């Protein structure tokens, strides 16, 4: 395993100094903040020795706080949408805080992306862990929840993220990383020119509020067929709102780390292979970026400027017994592993 270098530093947020860390090897350099346990940037080394950042980020932590864009953050307790911000548990209705019309998105108005996590460097000196205690009733969720997010470099150019959680009483959980990628490294360019491959035979059709409709749909002969690599912009005209859909992953069962998607920039040749242990992948081509959102070098963001590939369980699973379960019981450990391999 390559030697990982870790450099701690701090970044300002609302008058506070927030812990931040940089992990690097000979191929990649990743930056993280305790605000949202988020990835701020990921630099890949070019053949000429220079570096290019391919992860969308904002200029300051205060800019992240001012946006509801979840850029780079860990989303929880429940990533994605829960219809009508409620679900049934033990024959009772659990009412959550809504933050997208009547529905809840990414854990509510004060989700994990907006928290300042505790942070520590691992005993081996080659990993960083962010920890958060979510109290009983947080955003409406029952039960105290303790969660940890650890980042480390496990092989040359491979970043590993492990999310674990434990609860005091039955609750639901679905956590993911919400990084936006643009492998060109030029955030003035559209990420829709990327080639994308997803290991999924089915996807979930959605209604006007992006809540899954009944059943699954076959990707064959549709704009959602990414079983072989295809340019995103070659087929985007077939869907008026772009992509914000869950893909039902095939291959190994849930709980097994396996490759689920490949993203590639044809011009630079940069390639990212995504692996996860969860059953679904939300593919979102950014539609909410605006020129008021700026990167650290002052570049203005724009629609389609980034692609989010969010491994997770399915949206609205607590209300859908036909979907993979999101229930976590006391004594159990929720564990989601994500890996990004860059070449």
Strands 158-167 and 171-172: unpaired
Q: Exposed e or buried b for every residue in 267-286, given b needs 16+ CB within 10 A? A: eeebbbbbbbbbbbbbbbbb
Residues acting as catalytic residues = 178, 310
Q: Could you tell me the sign of the dihedral formed by the alpha carbons of 130, 131, 135, 140, in that order?
A: positive
Burial class (CB in 10 A: 0-12, 13-18, 19+), 237: exposed
In angstroms, rounded to a whole number, what is the distance separating the alpha carbons of residues 260 and 254? 12
Strands 5-13 and 51-53: unpaired
């Amino acid at each position: 395993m390559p030697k990982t270098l870790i450099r701690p530093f701090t970044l300002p947020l609302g008058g506070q100094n927030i812990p931040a860390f940089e992990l690097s090897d000979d191929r990649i350099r990743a930056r993280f903040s305790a605000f949202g346990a988020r990835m701020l940037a990921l630099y890949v080394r070019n053949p000429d020795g220079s570096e290019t950042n391919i992860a969308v980020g904002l200029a300051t932590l205060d800019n992240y706080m001012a946006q509801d864009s979840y850029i780079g953050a860990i989303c929880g307790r429940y990533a994605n949408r829960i219809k009508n911000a409620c679900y049934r548990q033990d024959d009772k209705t659990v009412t959550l805080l809504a933050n997208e019309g009547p529905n809840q998105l990414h854990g509510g108005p004060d989700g994990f992306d907006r928290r300042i996590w505790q942070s520590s460097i691992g005993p081996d000196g080659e990993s960083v862990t962010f920890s958060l205690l979510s109290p009983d009733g947080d955003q409406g969720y029952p039960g105290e929840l303790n969660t940890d997010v650890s980042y480390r470099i496990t092989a040359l150019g491979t970043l590993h993220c492990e999310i674990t959680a434990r609860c005091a009483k039955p609750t639901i959980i679905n956590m993911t990383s919400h990084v936006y990628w643009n492998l060109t490294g030029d955030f003035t360019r559209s990420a829709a020119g990327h080639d994308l491959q997803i290991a999924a035979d089915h996807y979930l059709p959605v209604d006007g509020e992006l809540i899954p409709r009944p059943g699954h749909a076959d990707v064959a002969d549709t704009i959602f067929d990414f079983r072989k690599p295809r340019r995103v912009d070659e087929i985007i005209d077939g869907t008026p709102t772009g992509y914000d859909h869950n893909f039902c992953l095939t291959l190994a069962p849930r709980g097994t780390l396996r490759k689920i998607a490949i993203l590639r920039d044809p011009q630079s040749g940069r390639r990212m292979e995504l692996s996860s242990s969860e059953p679904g992948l939300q593919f979102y081509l950014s539609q909410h970026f605006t020129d008021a959102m700026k990167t650290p070098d002052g570049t203005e963001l724009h629609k389609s400027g980034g692609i989010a590939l969010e491994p997770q369980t399915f949206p609205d699973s607590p209300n859908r017994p036909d979907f993979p379960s999101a229930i976590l019981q006391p004594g159990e450990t929720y564990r989601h592993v994500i890996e990004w391999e860059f070449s």
